Amino acid sequence: MSTSEHFDVIVVGAGISGIGAAYHLQTMCPKSSYQILEGRADFGGTWDLFRYPGIRSDSDMHTLGYRFKPWTADKSIADGPRILEYLKETITENSIDKKIRYNQQVTKAQWSSEDSRWSLTVIDKVSGQEKFISCGFLFMCSGYYSYKQGFTPEFAGIEKYRGKVVHPQQWPQDLDYKNKRVVVIGSGATAMTLVPAMASDVAQITLLQRSPTYVISRPSVDPFAKRMRRLYPKKLPMPSHVPKIQPTSKNSTNSVEKPRPTSNKS
């Protein structure tokens, strides 16, 4: 297999995990070459793909966000567009956007123990061109969703239904549900944000669930985090003792640049 390009690291996916991996690569392995291969036309992963009403994080952003870029917005449980804006700030501030290649679908990854490297087959989804890239380390940050189509159970007689069936993953931006009767099947995280967001505009909304669940209303603004922001600076310094790691040319071992000891003498 002929290889047109080689990088120390290839990151697959420009979502929240891939962007975080890129930052740490630049910080801890500043001499290493890397690229991010993103199969879609834009960054953001989940937060760019899903556009249904009420989309937001399930975890607070102080946990889901990056340590190197503290979450400063009032809402700890943030909506999708604000999270996407946060990711855009991250890649712009750290010049990660220059490392992302869009519409690049990795179709095959093969490891060679003899060469100590990965060989990737990549399809450019715009031109249809196939190319080969090799790397010493492969970071899979593509998530677990199928971007082509979300899982849809088989319902007997669905072809006879005269209404509109919508999966949140492929939510039509021009969908008009005002004053309509809506049934939401399932009571997972998506339903918990979708139903309240639609409730004020529809004539009736009914949620069907297989097993009983309990829902507790919590404020989107965390009062504890709000108090902490007043006491602490906007950004705490990152640890200075983190060693910088540089892969060798063959990528079979790692060389580590250890921190220099500090002296208390004046």
Mark whether 200 and 109 lie in a shared domain: no
Q: Is the dihedral of CA 53, 54, 57, 59 positive or negative?
A: negative
Query: How many domains does the chain contain in total?
Result: 2
pLDDT at 250: 55
Mark whether 35 and 87 lie in a shared domain: yes
Across the chain, what does the average pLDDT equal? Answer: 87
Is residue 115 within 8 Å of residue 137, measured between CB atoms? Answer: no
Mark whether 231 and 194 lie in a shared domain: no
Sheet holding 34-37, edge to edge: 100-101, 34-37, 5-12, 130-140, 117-124, 104-112
Mark whether 35 and 143 lie in a shared domain: yes
pLDDT at 7: 98
Give 102: exposed, middle or buried? Use CB within 10 Å, 0-12, 13-18, 19+: middle
Mark whether 142 and 164 lie in a shared domain: no
The H or E element that residue 223 is part of is helix 223-231
- Residue 142 belongs to some domain of the structure: yes
CATH at 48: 3.50.50.60
What's the pLDDT tens digit per position in 105-126?
999 999 999 999 999 999 999 9
Task: Identify the weakest region by mean pLDDT among 5-14, 127-136, 180-189, 224-233.
Answer: 224-233
Q: The domain containing residue 164 runs over which residues?
A: 158-208
Report the alpha-carbon distance of residue 128 to residue 168 in Å, rounded: 29
